[in-house]
Amino acid sequence: MSESPPILALKDVCKAFGAVRALQDVSLELWGGEIHALAGENGAGKSTLVKTLAGVHRPDEGQVLLDGRPVEFHGPGDAQQAGVAVIYQEPTLFPDLSVAENIFMGRQPRSKFGRIDRGALRAETAKLFERLGVALDPDRPARGLSIADQQIVEIAKAISRDARVLIMDEPTAALSGNEVARLFTVARTLQDQGCALLFISHRLEEIFDLCQRVTTLRDGRYISTELLDGLTADDLVQRMVGRELDTLYPKQETTIGAPVLKVSRLTREGVFTDVSFEVRSGEIVALAGLVGAGRSEVARAIFGIDRYDAGSVEVGTVELSGGSPTTAMSAGLALVPEDRRQQGLVMEGSIERNIGLTQLRSLRRGPVISRKVERDRAADWAIRLQLKYGRLSDVVGVLSGGNQQKVVLAKWLSTEPSVLIIDEPTRGIDVGTKSEVHRLLSELAGQGLAVLMISSDLPEVLGMADRVLVMHEGRLTAEIPRDEATEETVMAAATGQTRQEDVSGRASSGQRSAGSEATEVTKEDGALGAREPRSRQRAQGGRA
Amino acid sequence: MAAITADTGGRRFVDTVLRARELSILAALIVLVAVTTAVNSSFLSTQGVKDIFLNASILALLAVGQTMVVVTRNIDLSVGSVVGLVAFASGKFVAGHDRNVLLVLVVGMLIGAVCGLVNGVLVSFFKVPALVVTLGTLYVIQGLDYYWAHGQQINAADVPASLLDLGNGSVLGIPYLPLITVVVMVAVGYYLRAYPSGREFYAIGSNPDAARLAGIAIRKRILTAYVVSGVLAGLAGVLWLARFGTVVADAAHGWELKVVSAVVVGGVAIVGGLGSVYGAALGALLLTTIGSVLVVLKVNSFWQDAIAGALLLLAISVDRLLALRVTRALRKRNARHGA
């Protein structure tokens, strides 16, 4: 190790929130010129650690050391002054302000008399975006940006600080392969300049790709710090989980029955066009594609959250009128949304309340809701899904990501649906719980449920799906049966490189769009480049 | 490159929508004035116009202060009672003495500043919801005022001529009152737009959590907003005395809701983060003009409040609708051009 002390370090830090001990005696050293990984399951305390470094939380015990000397950050402002920049897991943007203002808030370039120099503000933002290789208008408001673009703005914000320490809490979750590559280039440049970096990701292959050392946390406790060289993905997983994992994708053989969900020629102007497919009972169909391809939007339209302009949706023999989630639910549809916190759960509500939410009518005893029935029902589901919780009256917000997902699942499964649409079932869920969710989905399909699974996680798609549908820019570009689905075939279709003859199955939109697709490829070469398959990086990761 | 032009298109749409708010208020004003003049030609007389501007000045001044507070996702309901207190207090202060006008203004603004400080400290440091705090101070200040006044009133005869001149005199044919309001409005508007600290008010209202993570001094800014609102209410109180001369304890009673209406009608989002002082001032002008129009058209003045309320509801509905439209327009651009 070098002579000089680490730029930023934590020493024996403890932090508790009420009864929950988020961090216990955790130490971490961030050296200049090194990219350090932080590994751990959800709820292991990674985000708390990040927020302690960022000055959001103050440690109950232990010290934060800056250049070897103890410091006390009284707020995020202090940490920023000390040269610490953070990319938070969840974008923290000002929707009403422009993208440029978002990036430079509090540090705007000034002209005479301390006014904001708008020209310089715009130019510097454009320069940052060029460095990151993205085409975003600096003047547009942050409202309405896709998650990926929000994350890009977060990254631009952090690197514009010229920080000595850059902390990245899951920056890549929503990014495309090309954007990830750009981010890594920037990170390595900073590393060469002597900055200290901390990187958090659920994708182990990214950790191996980018970082030199790794610190592992488990249940708020420090487990180890070691060089990544010579370590395998399995070693790392084992340190995170503390036990060996069973097979990652426990797909059961199922008997596939009659079509339950029929979607034909569904179109919502400007969002998706001419989408047709079927899902049969007992079948898991994956809807793959890049972020922004319109997959979630299709799901929302099917479920009646958004209206559609043309086409039809049938569940069983009932044709849905569209635009009404209530009808969709009574027809037997259930939707587990992508964003648990915003759309799936009442975060301040208790576990039992959340589970009972879809079933308020059947919970009634007379005109009022029976707390007892609600509790019994919730307890039943908690056992069936192996939910880990303290009490059923606990607030959902305190559960880990994986357990929150189980609550959402319980909530929807209690409606006894015939079709389950699940959007990104394991996003932000740790490795251990991930396979539990997969086992659960597989079991449900085994019991005859039709499952439509939207996922950006390619191994998950390949491991779980009986059939893979691929979307590209609002159109269905391929339908691939399980035994033909590989990373190459799926990614080719997702990036719009499919030719007509490659389209197997009956992807009706394939034929119509094939011609225009080809011209789009040349026209939007840049944009397509930005959508390079993530699979290539994934393939290098040991486990995937 | 297609993405860039599309983005620019999206921005232009958003810009247009935002600017359209101020323009549509102007348009409403013009239509209102035109129709009324057609019915009663004396409406657009010099005196008529002057009256409207004089009456709108105080409301607009309060709307400017309120804008700063509302933009940070807070509200100041105490302004009406501060105006009443300061009008009465400065009346007491000048009665029977020949006080310098500037001194009276300073005293009035100091009283306002103290009221604003109390609001600001309670909201920002003790984290009490603004609605509750300022509702409380509204009644407390009103109570103090009533107790002190004890049924007395200030008469114009007690107010020095120099002060009355401020309220009714003019320079180069332009009355002082609107002049003061315009100067304050432009100063505050320019500060909020052109200075980094000014932008922070919008940032706080737009996403308080993000503002905290960005290291913005939230408490300081919210405190500032309340103090500015208080100072402007103090200024308005002195101007009230200068304009009317005769002041009873419940001067400006109920004005807080008028001010909030003006601000919202003027396009300042009640949930913070959006809007300008110019819009708010225009909103004040529109509400005042409607009041005058009703008088000219001999409509019972009781209708005035109902119309102000209807306008408020309309403004909020339009805001909501536009917000949805804008978001959808921006999303659409995203969907079409990938991520």
User: How far is residue A455's CA from residue A485's CA, in Å, rounded to a whole number?
Assistant: 14
For residue A480, the surrounding DSSP H or E stretch is strand A475-481
Residue B13 maps to a domain:
no
Are A290 and A270 in contact by the 8 Å Cβ rule? The answer is no
Q: Name the DSSP letter for residue A93.
A: -
- Of B169, B154, B141, nearest to B245 by C-alpha is B154
Q: Is B267 on the interface with A (CB under 8 A)?
A: no
Name every chain A residue with its beta carbon within 8 A of the beta carbon of B196: 106-108, 110, 114, 116
CB contact under 8 A, B330 and A291: no
Q: Give the model's pLDDT for residue A503.
A: 41
Q: Is A307 on the interface with B (CB under 8 A)?
A: no
Q: Give the model's pLDDT for residue B97.
A: 79
Are A403 and A324 in contact by the 8 Å Cβ rule? The answer is no
Name every chain B residue with its beta carbon within 8 A of the beta carbon of A106: 196, 200, 214-216
CB contact under 8 A, A145 and B330: yes
Q: Is B16 on the interface with A (CB under 8 A)?
A: no
Tell me what percent of the residues of chain B surpass a pLDDT of 70: 91
User: How far is residue A434's CA from residue A430's CA, in Å, rounded to a whole number?
Assistant: 6
- Residue position matching structure tokens 């004089």: B54
User: What string of DSSP letters covers A190-203?
Assistant: HHHTT-EEEEE-S-
For residue range B302-311, what is the model confidence (pLDDT) as tens digits?
Answer: 787 788 788 7
Q: Give the model's pLDDT for residue A92.
A: 85
Q: Give the model's pLDDT for residue A432.
A: 67
For residue range B183-226, what is the model confidence (pLDDT) as tens digits?
Answer: 999 999 999 999 999 999 999 999 998 898 888 889 999 999 99
Residue B286 maps to a domain:
yes
- Of A150, A37, A13, A28, nearest to A95 by C-alpha is A150
pLDDT at B96 over 80: no
User: How far is residue A218's CA from residue A232's CA, in Å, rounded to a whole number?
Assistant: 18
- Number of alpha carbons in the 13 Å side-chain half-sphere of residue A462: 17
The model's pTM: 0.71
**Helices then strands (H, E): number in chain B?**
13, 4
How many Cβ contacts (< 8 angstroms) between chains A and B?
A: 140
β-strand partners of A9? A29, A65
Return the number of other C-beta atoms located less than 10 Å from residue A353's C-beta: 21
- CATH code, domain with B128: 1.10.3470
Q: Is B209 on the interface with A (CB under 8 A)?
A: yes
Name every chain B residue with its beta carbon within 8 A of the beta carbon of A474: 335-336
Residue B332 maps to a domain:
no
Name every chain B residue with its beta carbon within 8 A of the beta carbon of A158: none
Q: Give the model's pLDDT for residue A120.
A: 92
Residue B4 maps to a domain:
no
Residue B122 maps to a domain:
yes
Name every chain A residue with its beta carbon within 8 A of the beta carbon of B199: 97, 101, 105, 108, 116
Tell me the torsion sign for CA atoms B235, B236, B239, B240: negative
Residue B14 maps to a domain:
no
- Of B330, B136, B210, nearest to A149 by C-alpha is B330
Q: Give the model's pLDDT for residue A238.
A: 77
Are A116 and B197 in contact by the 8 Å Cβ rule? The answer is no
Are A57 and A48 in contact by the 8 Å Cβ rule? The answer is yes
pLDDT confidence tier of residue B167, bands split at 50, 70 and 90? confident
Are A490 and A461 in contact by the 8 Å Cβ rule? The answer is yes
- N-terminal to C-terminal alpha carbon distance within chain A: 33
User: How far is residue A42's CA from residue B45's CA, in Å, rounded to a whole number?
Assistant: 72
Q: Name the DSSP letter for residue A42.
A: T
Name every chain A residue with its beta carbon within 8 A of the beta carbon of B72: none
Distance from CA of A11 to the nearest CA of B (A): 23
Q: Is A108 on the interface with B (CB under 8 A)?
A: yes
User: How many angstroms from the chain centroid is the CA of residue A75?
Assistant: 28
User: How far is residue B58's CA from residue B112's CA, in Å, rounded to a whole number?
Assistant: 14
Name every chain A residue with its beta carbon within 8 A of the beta carbon of B326: 143-144
Residue in chain A lying closest to B338 (CA)? A292
Per-residue pLDDT tens listing for chain A (544 residues):
446 789 999 999 998 876 567 888 999 999 999 999 998 876 678 888 999 999 989 999 999 999 989 999 988 888 988 889 998 877 789 988 999 999 998 888 888 888 899 899 999 999 988 888 788 889 888 887 877 788 888 888 888 888 889 999 888 877 777 778 888 888 898 899 888 999 998 778 889 989 999 999 887 889 889 998 888 887 887 787 665 544 567 677 778 888 999 999 999 887 888 999 999 999 999 998 876 678 888 999 999 888 888 899 998 888 888 788 888 888 889 888 877 767 777 777 888 888 888 777 677 677 777 778 788 888 888 888 778 777 788 888 777 777 888 888 888 888 888 999 998 888 767 666 777 888 888 888 888 899 999 987 777 888 889 999 998 878 898 899 988 888 778 877 876 665 433 444 434 433 333 333 333 333 333 333 333 333 333 333 333 3
CB contact under 8 A, B213 and A92: yes
- Of A398, A434, A423, A451, nearest to A340 by C-alpha is A423
pLDDT confidence tier of residue B281, bands split at 50, 70 and 90? very high
For residue range B13-33, what is the model confidence (pLDDT) as tens digits?
Answer: 555 655 667 787 888 888 888
Residue B2 maps to a domain:
no
- Virtual CA dihedral for A400, A406, A408, A413, nearest 10 degrees? -170
Name every chain B residue with its beta carbon within 8 A of the beta carbon of A527: 2-3, 337-338
Most A CBs within 10 Å, among B16, B199, B218, B268, to test the A interface: B199
Are A507 and A169 in contact by the 8 Å Cβ rule? The answer is no
Q: Name the DSSP letter for residue A141.
A: B
Most A CBs within 10 Å, among B213, B268, B274, to test the A interface: B213
- Strand A84-87 relative to strand A165-169: parallel, antiparallel, unpaired? parallel
Q: Give the model's pLDDT for residue B251.
A: 83
Q: Give the model's pLDDT for residue A190.
A: 87
Domain assignment of residue B57, given as a range: 46-322
Most A CBs within 10 Å, among B330, B332, B333, to test the A interface: B330
- Of A308, A309, A263, A318, nearest to A287 by C-alpha is A263
Q: Give the model's pLDDT for residue A330.
A: 86
Query: What is the count of structural domains for chain B?
Result: 1
Residue B243 maps to a domain:
yes
Q: Give the model's pLDDT for residue A286.
A: 93
Distance from CA of A407 to the nearest CA of B (A): 26
Are B263 and B67 in contact by the 8 Å Cβ rule? The answer is yes
Among A81, A292, A531, the residue with its CB nearest the CB of B335 is A292
Q: Is B97 on the interface with A (CB under 8 A)?
A: no
Distance from CA of B283 to the nearest CA of A (A): 21
Distance from CA of A449 to the nearest CA of B (A): 31
Token couple for B205: 């209202």
Which residue did the predictor score with more confidence, B274 or B21? B274
Name every chain B residue with its beta carbon within 8 A of the beta carbon of A176: 339
- What is the b/e burial string over B82-94, where b = at least 16 CB atoms within 10 angstroms of the residue's CB? bbbbbbbbbbebb
Token couple for A464: 């779980």
User: How far is residue A347's CA from residue A456's CA, in Å, rounded to a whole number?
Assistant: 25
